[in-house]
């Protein structure tokens, strides 16, 4: 298996092997070796591994960023070589700090009764499936789930995303060097590049595998979730979200163009390939909706075609657009695949409230890429109804003026139960790494609304187990 340069469609880099079911079983068997070693190592030793890993990455910044750029067509600078690179190394160092200060442990003591409870490692490996859209900061061998799994002292078995084989191999080489340098067992960090879907699912059932960290499509996520659920394995799944923006009537009339500017910029960010892309904007009032659609159309029409991360994403985007048009969405601009490589024109659609209401699952389906949908709503009462009908989301934004206060309060009281992160005015792209961040949300955005995938130490707790030592000497 080889990677593809999405700017040209040409195969690039090394040829990577497909792991058989026996290969994956061997990886998992090996993971047994690292469970106790990681659980019992001095925190400073594992922290040292992460810090050395981060330093090795820093020293290969240009090389790594160049490969990631070639494989993803994401902008080299500042996106890959600075913003995402720094996020990756920041997370590794934050995980190291977490190992030193043990801030994830949640220790509770009851001396009178001889009880001490604390979070401990899982007693098994975490299988990390990284997504397509963050080759560094969410990569299975260097990203958020990797950091959280290691901070909680679990072995990691990472699967490279098929669009990032060479990037992953380069990162993994640094991870191995740092791991070996720190004297950790090889089984602490393992990686594979390709497998049959069935074999990946079988891996999750292995006795040495305790949990899954997955960021990707809803279809793949639900398939892996079903396996984990049946075998009682933990799973942290980030699956899909349209992160809707709700524009109340007064704000829409007052500030249509400014709202459109902010929204369109957020839709285009990262080529529309952020999990937090605000794919849908609900606008209360036909006039405001028309103005927002018109202005956003101008912006998207003026933007260059986006090179998408993979052919699969482009196919899915085209299918999503067809589905939208099939339920009566009007195409305002874009809509075409263009060459070379996997390019797609920035695309805007407008849909009436009635059609959106009748076809919610199509209107509110996540589609990666530079596609935005304006839904024109009759008024604030109907806007609120759309909030009520919403499935679980990572994020949602409320846009309101003083005259919209009642609508905004009602939206807030509904959306607090529908999303992991709720914003006033601000667009949801851009997820600060902070202990107060929540990158999570109700099903089907994620698998468990009690957790966040971003933010240390909170994210670490996903991959932990609660243990009480009861009168233990």
- Residues numbered 190 to 209 that lie near its own copies (CB under 8 A) are none
Q: How far, in Å, CA of 348 to CA of 416, rounded?
A: 28
**End-to-end CA, the chain:** 53
Q: How far, in Å, CA of 278 to CA of 364, rounded?
A: 11
* Catalytic (active site) residue 84: no
Of 42-50, 132-140, 330-338, 442-450, the window that binds its own copies (rule: CB under 8 A) is 442-450
- 283, two tokens: 């606008």
Q: How far, in Å, CA of 256 to CA of 311, rounded?
A: 35
Residue 372 near its own copies by CB under 8 A: no
Positions in 212-241 near its own copies (CB under 8 A): 225-226, 229-234
Of 58-66, 288-296, 357-365, 456-464, the window that binds its own copies (rule: CB under 8 A) is 456-464
Residue 35 near its own copies by CB under 8 A: yes
Catalytic residue among 128, 275, 333, 349: 275
Is residue 361 packed enough to be buried (19+ CB in 10 Å), middle (13-18) or exposed (0-12)?
exposed
User: In terms of DSSP H, where are the helices of 102-231?
Assistant: 144-151, 165-181, 197-204, 218-231
- 409, two tokens: 């309060």
**Which residue has tokens 């070796």?**
33
The residue within the footprint of its own copies, chosen from 96, 142, 458, 460 (CB under 8 A), is 458
Q: Would you say 52 or 404 has its CB closer to its own copies?
A: 404
The residue within the footprint of its own copies, chosen from 243, 442, 456, 460 (CB under 8 A), is 442
Binding flags for its own copies, 402-421, as an x/- string (CB under 8 A): ----------xx--xxxxxx
Residue 252 near its own copies by CB under 8 A: no
Of 85-93, 113-121, 168-176, 285-293, the window that binds its own copies (rule: CB under 8 A) is 113-121
Tell me the Ramachandran region of residue 66: left when phi exceeds 0, alpha when psi lies from -120 to 50, beta otherwise. Answer: alpha
Three-state DSSP at 407 gives: helix
Of 175-183, 336-344, 369-377, 423-431, the window that binds its own copies (rule: CB under 8 A) is 423-431
Residue whose C-alpha is closest to residue 171's, from 200, 220, 130, 211: 130
* Catalytic (active site) residue 333: no
Q: Would you say 39 or 323 has its CB closer to its own copies?
A: 39
Three-state DSSP at 22 gives: helix
The residue within the footprint of its own copies, chosen from 6, 140, 213, 392 (CB under 8 A), is 392
Residue 473 near its own copies by CB under 8 A: yes
Q: So which residues are the catalytic ones?
A: 238, 275
């Amino acid at each position: 298996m080889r990677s593809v340069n999405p700017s040209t469609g040409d195969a690039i880099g090394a040829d990577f092997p497909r792991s058989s079911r026996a290969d994956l079983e061997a990886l998992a068997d090996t993971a047994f070796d690292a469970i106790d070693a990681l659980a019992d190592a001095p925190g400073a030793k594992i922290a040292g591994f992460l810090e050395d890993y981060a330093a090795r990455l820093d020293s290969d910044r240009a090389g790594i960023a160049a490969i990631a750029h070639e494989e993803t067509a994401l902008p080299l600078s500042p996106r890959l070589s600075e913003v995402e690179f720094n996020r990756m190394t920041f997370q590794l160092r934050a995980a190291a700090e977490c190992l030193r200060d043990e801030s994830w442990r949640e220790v509770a003591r009851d001396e009178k009764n001889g009880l001490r409870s604390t979070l401990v490692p899982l007693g098994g490996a975490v299988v990390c499936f990284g997504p397509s859209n963050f080759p560094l900061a969410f990569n299975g061998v260097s990203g958020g789930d990797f950091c959280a799994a290691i901070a909680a002292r679990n072995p990691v078995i990472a699967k490279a995303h098929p669009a990032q084989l060479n990037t992953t191999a380069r990162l993994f080489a640094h991870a191995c060097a740092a791991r070996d340098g720190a004297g950790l067992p090889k089984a602490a960090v393992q990686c594979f590049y390709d497998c049959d879907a069935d074999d990946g699912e079988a891996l999750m059932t292995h006795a040495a595998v305790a949990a899954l960290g997955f960021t990707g499509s809803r279809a793949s996520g639900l398939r892996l979730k079903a396996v984990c659920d049946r075998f009682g394995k933990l799973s942290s799944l980030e699956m899909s979200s349209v992160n809707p923006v709700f524009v109340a009537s007064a704000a829409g009339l007052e500030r249509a163009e400014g709202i459109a500017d902010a929204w369109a910029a957020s839709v285009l960010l990262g080529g529309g390939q952020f999990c937090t892309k605000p794919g849908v904007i609900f606008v209360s009032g036909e006039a405001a909706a028309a103005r927002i659609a018109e202005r956003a159309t101008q912006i998207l029409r003026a933007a260059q075609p986006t090179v998408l991360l993979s052919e699969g994403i482009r196919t899915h985007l085209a299918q999503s657009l067809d589905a939208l048009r099939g339920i009566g969405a009007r195409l305002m601009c874009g809509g075409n695949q263009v060459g070379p490589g996997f390019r797609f024109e920035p695309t805007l659609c407008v849909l009436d409230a009635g059609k959106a209401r009748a076809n919610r699952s199509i209107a509110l389906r996540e589609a990666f890429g530079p596609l935005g949908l304006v839904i024109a709503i009759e008024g604030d009462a109907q806007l609120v109804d759309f909030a009520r009908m919403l499935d679980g989301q990572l994020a949602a934004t409320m846009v309101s003026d003083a005259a919209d206060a009642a609508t905004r309060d009602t939206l807030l009281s509904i959306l607090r139960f529908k999303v992991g992160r709720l914003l006033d005015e601000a667009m949801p792209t851009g997820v600060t790494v902070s202990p107060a961040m929540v990158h999570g949300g109700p099903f089907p955005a994620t698998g468990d609304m009690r957790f966040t995938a971003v933010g240390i130490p909170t994210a670490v707790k996903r991959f932990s187990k609660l243990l009480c030592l009861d009168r233990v000497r």
